[in-house]
Amino acid sequence: MSRALPRTTSGRVASSIAFTVLALVLSVGAYVIAGLGKRGQLPATFGLYATIFAVGYVGGLLVIRRFAPSADPALFPTAGVLVGLGFAMIFRLSGGLAAEQATWIAVGLVAFAVTLMIVRDHHMLDAYTYTIGLLGLILLMLPMVPGIGQTINGARLWVQIGPLGFQPAELGKVLVVIFLASYLNQKRELLQVATTRIGPFRLPPAKHLAPVVLAWAGSLGILFVQKDLGASLLYFGIFVVLLWVATGRAAYLVLGLVLFAVGAWLGWVLFDHVQLRVDVWLNALDPEKVFKQGYGQLAQSQFAMATGGLVGSGLGKGSPGLIPFAATDFIFAAIGEELGLLGSTAILLLYVVLVGKGLRIALEVRDGFGQLLAVGLATMIAIQTFVIVGGVIRVIPLTGVTLPFMSYGGSSLVSNFILLALLVRVSSGPAPARGAI
């Protein structure tokens, strides 16, 4: 027998439908505009790609309605807009890449739905702390295995098994966040005990500080072995933030900043590729270096964004193809050229919405594990966005981290959809019993 939904629930459903329809319109609309700007006519693949977006977004909405009816209504649509705009830019750059990206979008949406169906309560994950942590570590280290690990563009991040090539660390990052949230929630009380004074700060005994030092050493190990500056910063940053949230002690932030500064200095002294990244950052527009490998890439991105100005050249009207790796590392520069400062700012605000919603979920959820999990997932999005955007606009040295939901790449996109599903799950709480409305 049907029953009337409470006003808050019915309002949430209406908002979810409205936001999802808006995300679908913006995604398909951006793709059509990019096609018209590039070729002057409706893309021949319009029916196929529009169907993928329509079925995927409506299907995602229905899955949320069934398995996470109390979820924040803006999470999925916000990510949907980012995916759609990223796809439009990738299509504008290369039809071949767009076909692959469309496939991965479909796979990512399926992964999103499956995650919500399997993880019916986020507390399920808290019961497998060390299993999840071990699996995450295995995925992070998998590219180091001889025979299957591949070095591409100077970083050893890929695994090639037969015809299948992927980056296992993308999923590994999500598992590491789950492990850290569970571990720190269990050790919260021990880490809050402060018996050692260093200046104005109190710290716990040395044995309880071991995880901080291990996380720092592990991030340096990733930098040394995989030559991945972005991942090293990401892992350590997430750990320090979660440690601070778990204990409420600012001393961990200060200790983290000190260790990060020491690690950055050691990386610059010991590793040639870090020295090159810093030199490119400082001298990207040096006339004597601008045409050298690495320098020209960043220089072209600066020229592209400067050309875009306030409102951009329009989708399909610029020349972002001149930027090397525009669909992956430099998609934000391509967006800056064709959508301008206003469009770039709008996209950054969408990331602010995602991160802000994640932090709000952490404030609203009542259990410690859920709080740390939401903070960790939101922090992952925030740090990845800051690292790649900051590198493109030369605020920090450039790293190889992809822009969440927008950059070309199957491993990154699928893992981000899984991350999104976990945020949706935490925001909604346990899935309703079978047969419930």
Average pLDDT over residues 200-224: 63
Q: Is residue 245 part of a domain?
A: no
User: Is 331 part of any domain?
Assistant: yes
Sequential DSSP letters for 190-245: HHH---EEETTEEE--HHHHHHHHHHHHHHHHHHHHH--HHHHHHHHHHHHHHHHH
Q: Which H helix or E strand runs over 138?
A: helix 129-141
3-class DSSP assignment, residue 120:
coil
Can you tell me the distance from the alpha carbon of 27 to that of 45, in angstroms, rounded to the nearest whole number?
A: 14
Mean pLDDT of 424-428: 94
Residue 226: predicted pLDDT: 60
Q: 393: which residues sit within 8 A by CB, 6+ positions away?
A: 305, 332
Least confident of 130-139, 228-237, 239-248, 309-318: 228-237
Say what the pTM is: 0.89
As a whole number of angstroms, the distance between CA 343 and CA 183 comes to 40
Give the residues across from 158 on adjacent strands.
Answer: 150
Higher pLDDT, 215 or 78: 78
Q: Calculate the average pLDDT of the chain.
A: 84
Average pLDDT over residues 196-214: 63
pLDDT at residue 142 greater than cutoff 50: yes
Given a cut of 90, is residue 376 above it in pLDDT?
Answer: yes
Judge whether 347 and 85 are in contact, CB under 8 Å. Answer: yes
292 is in which domain, residue-wise?
7-186+271-428
Average pLDDT over residues 138-142: 80
Instruction: Specify the pLDDT at position 278.
Output: 81
In a domain, 322, yes or no: yes
Question: Is it the case that residue 163 has pLDDT exceeding 80?
Answer: no
Residue 233, domain member (yes or no): no
The DSSP-derived string for 380-399 is HHHHHHHHHHHHHTTSS---
Question: In the numeric block, which tokens belong to residue 351?
Answer: 């990331």
Measuring CA to CA, which residue among 141, 147, 378, 84 is closest to residue 242? 378
Residues 189-203: what's their mean pLDDT?
A: 65
| Cβ burial, residue 41 (10 Å; 0-12/13-18/19+) | exposed
pLDDT at 220 over 80: no
- Is residue 308 in a domain? yes
Phi and psi for 396 in degrees, rounded to 5?
-135, 165
Q: How confident is the model at residue 4 (pLDDT cuts 50, 70, 90)?
A: very low
Is residue 264 assigned to a domain? no
User: Which tens digits make up the pLDDT trace of 165-194?
Assistant: 778 888 888 998 998 899 888 877 777 666
pLDDT at 266 over 50: yes
Q: How many domains does the chain have?
A: 1
Q: Count CB atoms within 10 A of the CB of residue 386.
A: 19
- Residue 163 in any domain: the answer is yes
Q: Is residue 249 situated within a structural domain? A: no
Burial class (CB within 10 angstroms; exposed 0-12, middle 13-18, buried 19+) of 296: middle
Residue 401: pLDDT band by 50, 70, 90 thresholds? confident
pLDDT interval class at 74 (50, 70, 90): very high
Sequential DSSP letters for 267-336: HHHH-HHHHHHHHHHHHTT-TTTTTSTTHHHHHHHHHHHHHHTTT-S-TTTS-GGGSTTTTTTTHHHHHH
Distance from C-alpha of 131 to C-alpha of 127, rounded to nearest angstrom: 9
Specify the pLDDT at position 271.
74
- Which pLDDT score is estimated for 194? 63
pLDDT confidence of residue 256:
78
pLDDT band at 218 (very low <50, low <70, confident <90, very high): low
Angle at 178 between CA 176 and CA 180, to 5 degrees: 65
354 touches 23 (CB < 8 A): no
Q: What does the DSSP assignment read for 55-108?
A: HHHHHHHHHHHHH-TTS-TTHHHHHHHHHHHHHHHHHHH-HHHHHHHHHHHHHH
Q: What percent of the chain has pLDDT over 90?
A: 41
Percent of the chain with pLDDT over 70: 83
Looking at residue 170, what is its pLDDT? 85
**Largest pairwise CA distance in the chain:** 76
pLDDT in tens, 221-260: 665 666 666 677 787 888 888 888 888 877 778 877 887 7
Judge contact between 319 and 304, C-beta under 8 A: yes
For residues 378-387, average pLDDT: 93
Give tens-digit pLDDT for 267-307: 778 777 778 788 888 887 777 776 666 667 788 888 899 99
Q: Which range among 115-119, 168-172, 283-287, 401-405 has the greatest average pLDDT?
A: 115-119
- Residue 46's pLDDT band, with cuts at 50, 70 and 90, is very high
- SS3 percent helix, strand, coil of the chain, rounded to 5, is 70, 5, 25
